């Protein structure tokens, strides 16, 4: 028996385009993000999903709604899969965070497992809740195909878990808006079948 998990980051938001930290701020999808979500839905429509899950934040939930619609499924939300809480950095661009917190920002870039955004979560805390959510998915769907729409940090955490890598490697992975990864969880092994694939966006006109 195996849980096969189709794992996506949400579609683009205006803050993504502006390179702003979002965290727990509940930003909506941009027009481009809505187009990306529909493209992902078309790519995944042939999968026999037992369930579609999402972070409760609007950008993830709305992406998941688009994916769930062709399957006649309602989206189930779990706060375990919310983005890392970035505290005082939420709403700041990367350049603004770098200028305002130079030493902390350097630590976040080089040793992210050892520091936390000011007033925010640590990667260790985010990992604990994300893996708690994964345990619930595995218990509830021990032999099924499930879709999960989350955020950049939880997506990376789940892939690192499958690969047996630590949080210090989190910036080695890229997670693009609606990038699709496929993970398999069995009792005695795990596998990564694909990571951050974006072929579904090839047919989306540039600038949409």
Q: Which of 83, 90, 141, 200 is catalytic?
A: 83
* 172 CB neighbour count, 10 Å cutoff: 11
Q: How many domains does the chain have?
A: 1
List the domain range (segments joined by +) for residue 19: 2-201
88 falls within a domain: yes
Dihedral angle, C-alpha 127, 129, 131, 133, nearest 10 °: -150
83 is catalytic: yes
**CATH number of residue 11's parent domain:** 3.40.50.1240
208 falls within a domain: no
What tens-digit pLDDT sequence spans the chain (208 residues)? 899 999 999 999 999 999 999 999 999 999 999 999 999 999 999 999 999 999 999 999 999 999 999 999 999 999 999 999 999 999 999 999 999 999 999 999 999 999 999 999 999 999 999 999 999 999 999 999 999 999 999 999 999 999 999 999 999 999 999 999 999 999 999 999 999 999 999 877 655 4
9 falls within a domain: yes
28 falls within a domain: yes
What is the predicted pLDDT for the residue at 204? Answer: 72
10 is catalytic: yes
CA distance 33 to 46: 22
206 falls within a domain: no
97 falls within a domain: yes
What is the predicted pLDDT for the residue at 1? Answer: 87
């Amino acid at each position: 028996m195996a849980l096969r998990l189709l794992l996506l980051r949400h579609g683009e938001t205006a803050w993504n385009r502006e390179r702003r930290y979002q965290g727990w701020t509940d930003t909506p999808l941009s027009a481009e993000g809505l187009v990306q979500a529909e493209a992902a839905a078309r790519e995944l429509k042939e999968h026999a999903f037992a369930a579609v899950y999402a972070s409760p934040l609007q950008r993830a939930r709305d992406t998941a709604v688009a994916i769930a619609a062709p399957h006649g499924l309602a989206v189930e939300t779990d706060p375990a899969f919310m983005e890392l809480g970035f505290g005082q950095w939420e709403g700041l661009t990367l350049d603004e965070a770098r200028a305002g917190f130079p030493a902390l920002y350097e630590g976040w870039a080089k040793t992210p497992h050892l520091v936390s955004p000011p007033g925010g979560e640590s990667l260790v805390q985010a990992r604990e809740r994300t893996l708690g959510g994964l345990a619930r998915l595995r218990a509830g769907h021990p032999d099924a195909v499930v879709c999960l729409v989350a955020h950049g940090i939880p997506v990376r955490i789940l892939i690192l878990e499958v690969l047996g890598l630590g949080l210090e490697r989190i910036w080695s992975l890229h997670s693009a808006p609606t990038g699709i990864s496929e993970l398999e969880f069995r009792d005695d092994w795990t596998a990564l079948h694909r990571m951050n694939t974006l072929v579904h966006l090839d047919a989306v006109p540039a600038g949409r």
